[in-house]
């Protein structure tokens, strides 16, 4: 294997590693809000959230995907919650909710 092949393989491995690192180090945002609806079968919760300063978002009502459908267990309409989420290509994904 010549040095050019070694460098190409190294760069490909580095690209793959960095793409996973971007997922692992996604910024987590925290917010509070009120549950407006739950679609457990689709892994969705509709929340009316307060302003989210880390994203410069005003308060609004929106759907969030959840990382794990188990997070939706016990959530009821009009329940006040605090939650954490990350922004992904597919949208906002809740990683924790209480």
What is the DSSP code string of 5-64? HHHHHHHHHHHHHHHHHHHHTPPEEEEEEEEEEEEGGGTEEEEEEPPBGGGTBPSEEEEE
Mean pLDDT of 51-58: 96
CATH match for 28-97 among 3.30.565.10, 2.60.40.10, 2.40.50.320, 1.20.140.10: 2.40.50.320
Average pLDDT, the chain: 87
What per-residue confidence (pLDDT) applies to 8?
57
- Phi and psi at residue 90, to the nearest 5°: -80, -10
> Cβ–Cβ contacts within 10 Å for residue 86, how many?
15
What per-residue confidence (pLDDT) applies to 25?
61
Mean pLDDT of 42-65: 97
Identify the burial level of 75 via C-beta atoms within 10 angstroms of its C-beta, where 0-12 means exposed, 13-18 middle and 19 or more buried.
middle
Higher pLDDT, 15 or 47: 47
Domain ranges of the chain: 28-97
What per-residue confidence (pLDDT) applies to 12?
63
Could you read off the pLDDT of 73-92 as tens digits, one per residue?
999 999 999 999 999 988 99
């Amino acid at each position: 294997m010549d040095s050019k092949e070694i460098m190409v393989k190294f760069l490909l491995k580095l690209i793959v590693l960095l793409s996973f690192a971007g997922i692992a180090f996604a910024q987590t945002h925290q917010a509070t809000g009120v549950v407006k609806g739950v679609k457990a079968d689709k892994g969705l919760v509709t929340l009316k959230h307060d302003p989210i300063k880390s994203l410069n978002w005003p308060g609004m009502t929106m759907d969030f995907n959840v990382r794990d459908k188990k997070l939706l267990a016990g959530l009821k309409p009009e329940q006040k919650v605090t939650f954490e989420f990350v922004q992904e290509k597919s949208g906002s994904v809740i990683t924790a909710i209480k």
